[in-house]
Every structure is written in structure tokens, then in C-alpha cells.
């Protein structure tokens, strides 16, 4: 076997989370009353555009979660048995091998062919001069970077963008063909409806967002094979590779912390509001006391204790990645324990209101058990609050990791994250000339991740809000100016394409 599969603690939890999401999605798909609000989420143009961007981040995170140790062929032949490397790689590392392995001597600016620091060079006549030397990999194919670099960058960017547009056109054709077959409409008519915006799901906005992404991705792929698109850091590592590797850390912090805090918030919040009395007093005392402790100090103390334990028990970890992963998992646990109080308070207030409703009182009168009332009546009616809260807390947790890693109590220094990138760039902002690209790369990727998460959370909030029938600014198919009134048939109501005046019967 050319590799040894490795499952880290966070990998196992991510796989569990993916399984839960697939199972819940399958259950929602089979339940019309649960599928209805999610259909309203798909009507939001900003929400679906944000989800398209989030899908890219999630894909990078999943690829970076499949870990293994490669086989050392030479060492295996000498030892007579399989010998694996101590370096743990991921599937994303294999895909991004050029970015990972092309390491320069030190800093280089984005798309540059020279180092960012002068070095002493000996001339053929024996004299020495200080100048910016050529990079080992970036722009190495150019004979005269001063005159060739700009034209070469433009040509490669245009070529990569063209390939991105070609890939996007294939996606458009496949999507239109699939929708046409599902709704029994003509292919060209389906494309007309999509580009006129006469569909329930805003496919036009999704495809425009996807077009921009495909063009940008094609340009980056074409340029990264010959340049460092976002430059290199102090040790010569590609900044684009670091920014992409940081995505998994941010996603793990946001999702696993939510997974850890959710049981505390659900159990204690509903119990406090439903049972009241001394149970409510004890739970209020717990989350009030926990909220009064500065979270940064509590997290710092817990992480430092965990770090001491790791350093005093090195035999427990066979690789550096295993040690860094345990610290990341412990950070998720600490953040989850300290961040459940807000959601718990919201659930307590909502449960206090729900337990006074007539159907809850009727269930009490018929001697229905507390567990059945909570599971069948209370929990389904607070899930919209839970869903909205966890989606909106995701971006806050991503920012929390960046702040904690910046002050040195976040992830392990050997693990790449947005916080460690910002911390590494902190001292370089004061040097002359200023190294700005590491900070801007971390800020740009983190900004896109947090912004897309917030926009998607806003769409989820509007869709699950019982006081809002449709999303603001989104007309129903029956009121669309380009669509005729929808026929009251199940086939028309479940169609993802808004019916057109001439082809209502076909949709």
C-alpha cells in the first residue's frame, strides 16, 4: 500500500458531522413540512450566492481532512519492510503539491521573479554588489523578467480565465439539461427561464457567482504553476498555500465547536424553561457564573494546561500533526464549553413561553410524560432558533480562532491558520520595505468565509422566521411579472422553475 491512512481526532469528528448532515438532509427531503422552509432558503439570491462560495471552502476543507502518511520507497527497500514518512499529508496537499514543495529562500512579492531582500552577489570580475536575486521557482522560465514578466502574467491569466469559462459553460449546459429533463421542458426554453431570472431558485445569480469563481480559479491555477500568486513568507513558503490550508482550521473551529456546545445549550436551556423552580435557578446560576468569567482568560488557562500536558507526555504522539490536532480539538472543546450560554438563555426564554401554550397544557392534562412533551412539542418549536443561532455563531467562532492564535493561545504554532498567519505578519508590517501580502491574504480569505457565512445565515433566518412568509424582495412565482399564475397542481408547486405563461402545463 503506497500510503498509510491516518484518522486524527478532528478528522473523525468531521466525518461524523458529514454523516449527520447527510442523514438529516435525507430525513428533511422525505418530510414536506421540514422541506418547506429550506425551499424558502433556496429562494434567496444573496443566500444562494453565499452558499456557492461556501461550497468552495467546504470542498477545500473536506479534501484537507483526508490524511495519510506516504510510503518511503528507498527506506522500505533498505529495511525490507514498508516504512512510512513521519510527515502527515492530506489529499489537498497532494493536489497542491507544486505550491507546497516550491519553497524559496525568503520573502518574495506576489507574482514577482525576485526576492524581496537584497543579497550580496559576486560578479565575474570578483567584485561584490548587493541586489535583488532571482527566485528559484517564481518566474524561473523567464530570461529577462524586467521586460517579459508583465506580458507573460497577462497571457497566462487570460489563458487560465478562458479555461475557467469553458469549464463553467459545461456546468451551465449540464444544469440546464438536468432541469429540462426533470421538468419535461425544452433545453433552450429552460436556459431562457434561467437567464431571465424567472425561476424559483435564483440560478442566474448562482451561475454568475460560479462564473466569477471559475474564471478566478482558472487564472490562479495558470499563474501558480510559474509564479507565487500571493508571494512567499519569511521561510519562503507560498502564501496562497498557507491561506488555503487555513480554511480547514477555520471550518473545524466553527463546526466542531458548534457540535460540542449544542447539547449543553439544548439540554440545559429547555430544562430550565420547562421545569422551572430549583432546576431553573441552578442552570441560571451556572451560565451566569460562566458568563461572568472573561472567556479569553479561561481559554488561555485551559490551553496552557493542555500544552503542558502535551509537552510532558511526548510518547503519546507519533507525529507533529497528531499533537497539533489534539490541541485543536481541545480548543474546540473549550470554546464549546464557554460559548453555549447565549443560546441556552434564548432557549430558556422560548421554552417558558411554549410551556404555557394550550396544547402543552392539554398534554399535561392527559398525563403525557415530560420527555414526550419535550421531544414532540417543545424541541421542534425551538429548532428554528437553534438553527439560526448556530449558523450565525459560525463566523464568530472563526474570528475567535484568529484572535486567540494571534495572542498565542490558539492552535499549535505548527498548524497553519488565519490567526498564525496574522501573527507571523504582525512584526513584518513595521519593517522597511513593508511585507503586506501575508496579512492581506489571511484577511481576504477570512473575510470571504465570514461574509458568505453571514449572508447564508441571514437567508436561513428569514426562511425559518415564522412571521415571514417569503424572503424580502423575492416574489412568489404567481406574482412574478414574467410568469403566469401557478396552477394548483403538485407538479407545478414542486417545480424549481417558475412557470411561464406559454408553458405552464409543462412545468
Query: H/E/C letters for each residue in 322-363?
Result: HHHHHHHHHHHHHHHHHCCHHHHHHHHHHHHHHCCCHHHHHH
The number of residues in the chain equals 507
List the strands of the sheet with 67-70, edge to edge: 3-6, 67-70, 89-90
Confidence of residue 60 (pLDDT cuts 50, 70, 90): very high
pLDDT higher than 70, residue 493 = no
Arithmetic mean of pLDDT over the chain = 81
**pTM exceeding 0.85:** no
Confidence of residue 240 (pLDDT cuts 50, 70, 90): very high
| SS3 per residue for 381-410 | HHHHHHHHHHHHHHHHHHHHHHHHHHHCCC
In this prediction, what percent of the chain has a pLDDT beyond 70?
Answer: 90
Q: How far apart are CA 336 and CA 341, in angstroms?
A: 10
In this prediction, what percent of the chain has a pLDDT beyond 90?
Answer: 15
Q: How far apart are CA 304 and CA 96, in angstroms?
A: 33
Q: Highest mean pLDDT range out of 430-434, 448-452, 496-500?
A: 448-452
Beta strands 67-70; 114-122: pairing state? unpaired
Confidence of residue 501 (pLDDT cuts 50, 70, 90): very low
Assess contact for 486 and 478: CB atoms under 8 A: yes
Determine the pLDDT at residue 485.
40
Determine the pLDDT at residue 338.
83
pLDDT higher than 90, residue 343 = no
Short-list 166, 252, 172, CA closest to 217:
166
Confidence of residue 503 (pLDDT cuts 50, 70, 90): very low
State the average pLDDT over residues 91-99. 89
Determine the pLDDT at residue 287.
86
pLDDT higher than 90, residue 458 = no
SS3 content of the chain, % helix, strand, coil (to 5): 65, 5, 25
Q: Highest mean pLDDT range out of 208-212, 308-312, 343-347?
A: 208-212
Determine the pLDDT at residue 222.
92
Assess contact for 402 and 255: CB atoms under 8 A: no
Task: Give the contacts of 18 (CB within 8 A, at least 6 positions apart).
Answer: 62
Determine the pLDDT at residue 79.
66
pLDDT higher than 80, residue 141 = yes
Determine the pLDDT at residue 220.
93
Cell of residue 210, nine digits: 460560479
What is the crossing angle of helices 320-338 and 9-29, to 10°? 50
Confidence of residue 494 (pLDDT cuts 50, 70, 90): very low
Q: How far is CA 142 from CA 151, 178, 275, 296, 312, in A?
A: 11, 45, 74, 50, 51
Short-list 90, 384, 418, 92, CA closest to 253:
418
Sign of the alpha-carbon torsion through 219, 96, 255, 447: negative
State the average pLDDT over residues 279-300. 84
pLDDT higher than 90, residue 181 = no
pLDDT higher than 60, residue 439 = yes
pLDDT tens track for 356-380: 888 888 888 888 888 888 888 888 7
CA 256 to chain centre: 12
Cell of residue 232, nine digits: 512567499
Confidence of residue 211 (pLDDT cuts 50, 70, 90): very high
Q: How far apart are CA 160 and CA 220, in angstroms?
A: 7
pLDDT higher than 80, residue 143 = yes
Confidence of residue 1 (pLDDT cuts 50, 70, 90): low
Task: Give the contacts of 419 (CB within 8 A, at least 6 positions apart).
Answer: 401, 402, 403, 404, 405, 406, 410, 411
The total of other beta-carbon atoms located within 10 Å of residue 430's CB is 8
**SS3 category, 177:** helix
Residue 132 carries which DSSP code? E
Lowest mean pLDDT segment, chosen from 7-21, 87-101, 309-323, 466-480: 466-480
Assess contact for 344 and 268: CB atoms under 8 A: yes
Radius of gyration, alpha carbons of the chain: 27
Determine the pLDDT at residue 467.
58
Lowest mean pLDDT segment, chosen from 291-300, 329-338, 456-465, 467-476: 467-476
Beta strands 89-90; 3-6: pairing state? unpaired
Q: Highest mean pLDDT range out of 53-67, 314-328, 358-372, 390-404?
A: 53-67
pLDDT higher than 80, residue 408 = no
Residue 185 carries which DSSP code? -
State the average pLDDT over residues 296-310. 81
Determine the pLDDT at residue 504.
35
Assess contact for 492 and 476: CB atoms under 8 A: no
Q: How far apart are CA 293 and CA 55, in angstroms?
A: 36
pLDDT higher than 80, residue 178 = yes
Amino acid at each position: 500500500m503506497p500510503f498509510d491512512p491516518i484518522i486524527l481526532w478532528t478528522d473523525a469528528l468531521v466525518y461524523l458531522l458529514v454523516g449527520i448532515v447527510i442523514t438529516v438532509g435525507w430525513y428533511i427531503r422525505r418530510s414536506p413540512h421540514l422541506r418547506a422552509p429550506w425551499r424558502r432558503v433556496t429562494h434567496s439570491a444573496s443566500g444562494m450566492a453565499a452558499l456557492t462560495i461556501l461550497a468552495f471552502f467546504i470542498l477545500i476543507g473536506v479534501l484537507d481532512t483526508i490524511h495519510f502518511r506516504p510510503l518511503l520507497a528507498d527506506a522500505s527497500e533498505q529495511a525490507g519492510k514498508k516504512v512510512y514518512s513521519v510527515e502527515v499529508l492530506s489529499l489537498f496537499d497532494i493536489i497542491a503539491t507544486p505550491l507546497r514543495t516550491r519553497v524559496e529562500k525568503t520573502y518574495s512579492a506576489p507574482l514577482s521573479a525576485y526576492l524581496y531582500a537584497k543579497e550580496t552577489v559576486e560578479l565575474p570580475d570578483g567584485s561584490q554588489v548587493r541586489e535583488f536575486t532571482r527566485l528559484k521557482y517564481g518566474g524561473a522560465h523567464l530570461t529577462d523578467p524586467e521586460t517579459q514578466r508583465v506580458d507573460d502574467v497577462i497571457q497566462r491569466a487570460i489563458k487560465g480565465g478562458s479555461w475557467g469559462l469553458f469549464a463553467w459553460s459545461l456546468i451551465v449546459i449540464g444544469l440546464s439539461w438536468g432541469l429540462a429533463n426533470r421538468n419535461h421542458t425544452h433545453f433552450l426554453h429552460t436556459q431562457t427561464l434561467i437567464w431571465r431570472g424567472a425561476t424559483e431558485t435564483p440560478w442566474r445569480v448562482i451561475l454568475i457567482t460560479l462564473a466569477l469563481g471559475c474564471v478566478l480559479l482558472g487564472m490562479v491555477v495558470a499563474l501558480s504553476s510559474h509564479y507565487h500568486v500571493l508571494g512567499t513568507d519569511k521561510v519562503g513558503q507560498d502564501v496562497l498555500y498557507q491561506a488555503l490550508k487555513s480554511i480547514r482550521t477555520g471550518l473545524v473551529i466553527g463546526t466542531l465547536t458548534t457540535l460540542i456546545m449544542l447539547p449543553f445549550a439544548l439540554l440545559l436551556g429547555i430544562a430550565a424553561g420547562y421545569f422551572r423552580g430549583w432546576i431553573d435557578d441552578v442552570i441560571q446560576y451556572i451560565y451566569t457564573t460562566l458568563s461572568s468569567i472573561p472567556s479569553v482568560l479561561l481559554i488561555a488557562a485551559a490551553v496552557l494546561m493542555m500544552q503542558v500536558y502535551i509537552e510532558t507526555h511526548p510518547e503519546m504522539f507519533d507525529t507533529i500533526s497528531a499533537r497539533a490536532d489534539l490541541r485543536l480539538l481541545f480548543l474546540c472543546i473549550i470554546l464549546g464549553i464557554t460559548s453555549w450560554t447565549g443560546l441556552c438563555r434564548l432557549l430558556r426564554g422560548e421554552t417558558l413561553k411554549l410551556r404555557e401554550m394550550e396544547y402543552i397544557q392539554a398534554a399535561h392534562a392527559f398525563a403525557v410524560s415530560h420527555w414526550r412533551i419535550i421531544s414532540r412539542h417543545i424541541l421542534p418549536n425551538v429548532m428554528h432558533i437553534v438553527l439560526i443561532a448556530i449558523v450565525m455563531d459560525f463566523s464568530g467562532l472563526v474570528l475567535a480562532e484568529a484572535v486567540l492564535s494571534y495572542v498565542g493561545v490558539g492552535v499549535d504554532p505548527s498548524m497553519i491558520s488565519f490567526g498564525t498567519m496574522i501573527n507571523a505578519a504582525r512584526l513584518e508590517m513595521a519593517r522597511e520595505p513593508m511585507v503586506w501580502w501575508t496579512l492581506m491574504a489571511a484577511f481576504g480569505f477570512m473575510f470571504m468565509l465570514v461574509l458568505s457565512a453571514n449572508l447564508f445565515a441571514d437567508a436561513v433566518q428569514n426562511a425559518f422566521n415564522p412571521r415571514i412568509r417569503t424572503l424580502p424582495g423575492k416574489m412568489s412565482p404567481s406574482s412574478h411579472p414574467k410568469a403566469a399564475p401557478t396552477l394548483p397542481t403538485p407538479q407545478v408547486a414542486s417545480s424549481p422553475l417558475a412557470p411561464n405563461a406559454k408553458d405552464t402545463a409543462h412545468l
